Structure 1
């Protein structure tokens, strides 16, 4: 093998460390890819490719928070795939799990609210969707989001505020209510 190939192939210790550090975040990688791609099959492809890239370049990981590092790779992989394919693909179907609970009516209403929220979130522009998913679904801090998106924290805060406003406005419009707030979801 040439020197470049050898440098990119991890040794056994690196693979074991990768398993310990990165594999716990595989679900987060797939979940983020699912929201970005809006397609479960493409999300699997993006998450798989991102994990391969993460393994290949694990030597560049300098410790710290593994999840934001991996989610940045997911985002970059998705951007690369978008450039190859073109624009976003429509969402096939939002997850339609009903909430678990003793009251079937409340469970159905909660499931309905989640479906509306998922549909509105999926319809947002990619920039708004990704920042909302990173904060509200993946529960990353502003600092971690800034690292994933390669933005200053102030920009993260302003984009997040605008994305939340747009989500609330679109959700109100979809539900046909003026007084409906996100906290009810």
Structure 2
């Protein structure tokens, strides 16, 4: 059992942020198994380097560790992009069943967004996930990426622009999502 109050406080902080870190890893890696591996690696790295934490709020520091763990895992595994055409398709829901149609349309939008996200550079992808999916502040995003706040804002804006461009271009020709530009 730990008796050091600072270690107990650190463990409590890890527990507070664990779910958010897990979502962050899942968004970046797009695989539940890989996300769990990256989360475990994040928690281990955080524990090892807990004495290097100098800020009062460990959230940006933890997200930077998680981002690096995800990038390291991607580098080691480097999975190829798969086409949406490779995935088994289900027949479209009848128009008279409105809830199913809405669910299908939502899934289509989600698939299109996930496919478009594949083409973003790693920094833009991470910045977009942190800001727009995990609702982190500009400061937290910058700290997680180890860059300045203006650079983080710029990365988010470039990501949004690239996503809009890709989604607008591909909205007419959905199969083009599988081919890089």
Does the alignment reach a TM-score above 0.5? yes
Contact between 1:68 and 1:145, CA under 8 Å: does it hold in 2? yes
Residue 72 of structure 1 and its aligned partner are, at CA, apart by 0.4
Q: Describe the superposition over 1:121-161 as per-residue Cα deviations: whole angstroms up to 9, x where unpaired.
A: 23422222111001011111111111111111111122211
Range with greater deviation from structure 2 (43-52 or 13-22):
13-22
Could you state the TM-score of these two structures normalised by the residue count of structure 1? 0.72
Q: Which residue of 1 aligns with 2:79?
A: 89
Range with greater deviation from structure 2 (147-156 or 15-24):
15-24
Q: Provide the rounded CA distance (Å) in 2 between the counterparts of 1:34 and 1:136.
A: 14
Residue 24 of structure 1 and its aligned partner are, at CA, apart by 2.1
Q: Provide the rounded CA distance (Å) in 2 between the counterparts of 1:42 and 1:27.
A: 15
Unpaired runs of 5+ in structure 1?
A: 1-9, 95-101, 178-185
Residue among 73, 77, 83 paired with 2:69: 77
> Aligned pair count?
159
Q: Describe the superposition over 1:45-94 as per-residue Cα deviations: whole angstroms up to 9, x where unpaired.
A: 111011011122223323433322111011222334455x26x3246799
Q: Which residue of 1 aligns with 2:159?
A: 163
Q: Describe the superposition over 1:21-57 as per-residue Cα deviations: whole angstroms up to 9, x where unpaired.
A: 1212212222222233333322221110110111222
